[in-house]
Amino acid sequence: MSLLRHCPALLLAAPSSGQGKTTVTAALARYHRQQGRRVRVFKAGPDFLDPMIHEQASGAPVHSIDLWITGEADARRRLYQAAGEADLILLEGVMGLFDGQPSSADIACTLGIPVLLCIRGAAMAQTFAAIAHGLATYRPGLPVAGVFANQVSGERHYALLQEGLAPGLTAFGYLPDRPDFALPSRHLGLVQASEVADLETRLDHAAAQLQWTQPALPPPVAFAPVADSPPPPLLAGQHIAVARDAAFAFIYPANLETLEQLGAHLHFFSPVAGEGLPPSVDAVYLPGGYPELHLSALAANQQLKADLTGHVQAGRPVLAECGGMLYLLEYLSDLAGHTAPLAGILPGEARMQKRLAGLGPQALSLPEGTLRGHRFHYSTMHTPLTPWAQTVCPNGRPHREAVYRTGRVTASYVHWYFPSSPQAVAALLGA
């Protein structure tokens, strides 16, 4: 008996960022969900904001897929599981189809998922077909399902876009150019789903306006099983506090899953809401997010500052990523120049800036294993601390990030993907 699972699947990719992949993916997820189908969405590359939108659109958790950060085996395992639960799998690509190492095209070829070319049709006519042809033929062996047009003014415009499409390049439909389902954005990307008050209405409008011109579902893709060996319970019985709110929302679902597989009990709390640490916790995880947008609330939370100080003085672990690290500093300044005193666990300050300060994959080698992740930040940090370690970029570039260690506090700009080395995570957070 074959253990293969078959499920229709598409990888939505575009010529570049800004083509509307997230809006189209979310619209497709909501459209097929409204047809009574179970839809599972994945996001290529390291991302936290797009998955929030897709989770709302599909009604199911959204995991990231990156052939280096998450790894091929992790990707295959999650796709295989989804294929047993869903009627349709959608995978939103990252940047342009061939951008990055690894790229969306690499993911499509490695995992055998056909690409649906998502191209912005605004201010364009027959050139649409030339772009589609170039994307479809640039890399031999790339599986291409067809093309989907975004920001289309109407049926006549869509007809012009289809003129000259190469034989075999199927047109799957289009999404009109409408402001009522546009997704707002800010400096790190889209606005968090929880902050868009009318997101449900926007998603429903997008699904209602979407023109899907092909049969209900694309052909099924075969997904093979992958051996799964859960990590040993190195954190058995440990209670870990996890900051989770509008300021600390950049959390991979897989990270929480890994902590639970390691045996930890998770306790969520909101610094923005004025909450202190949950009682009797053994460790604290401060993920990234937008602390700079909540300076007043964070500065006013004296209880959490006192709790963290006592926690650290007792020699208990803290793992802080990006925005979580900024919160541990003495001061943080936002883009408008407003400065607030924060936790004061780490000496120094950070300032937000309009220019991107760090981007790309990073790895940290520890005795327990190599922890993988990525950096993406618009702040600069000044501290007298000497780095405990330095990360390395897998693409051979000289970009590095400092990892700071004082007592049992470990802090860095890097957002770690815990499944890449559960043993290393257990060493950082273990009692």
* Burial degree of 135 (CB within 10 A; 0-12, 13-18, 19+): buried
The angle, 0 to 180 degrees and rounded to 10, between the axes of the packed helices 155-162 and 127-137 is 50
The dihedral sign for the CA sequence 281, 286, 289, 293: positive
Q: What residue ranges in 335-401 does DSSP mark as E strands?
A: 339-341, 349-352, 358-366, 369-377, 379-382, 389-390
Residue 110 CA to residue 232 CA, distance in Å, equals 29
Q: What residue ranges in 109-183 does DSSP mark as E strands?
A: 115-120, 144-152, 170-176
Radius of gyration of the chain (CA): 22
Closest CA to 201 of 312, 315, 56, 87: 56
Which stretch of DSSP H or E encloses residue 155? helix 155-162
The dihedral sign for the CA sequence 408, 285, 74, 257: positive
**What letter represents residue 92's amino acid?**
E
DSSP string covering 38-54, please? Answer: -EEEEEESS-SHHHHHH
Positions annotated as catalytic residues are 322
Residue 10 is classified by DSSP as E
Let me know: does 181 contact 210? Beta carbons within 8 Å: no
Tokens of 384: 């007298």
Look at the block and give the residue holding tokens 């273990």: 430
String of b and e for 396-409 (b: at least 16 CB within 10 Å)?
eeeeebbbbebebb
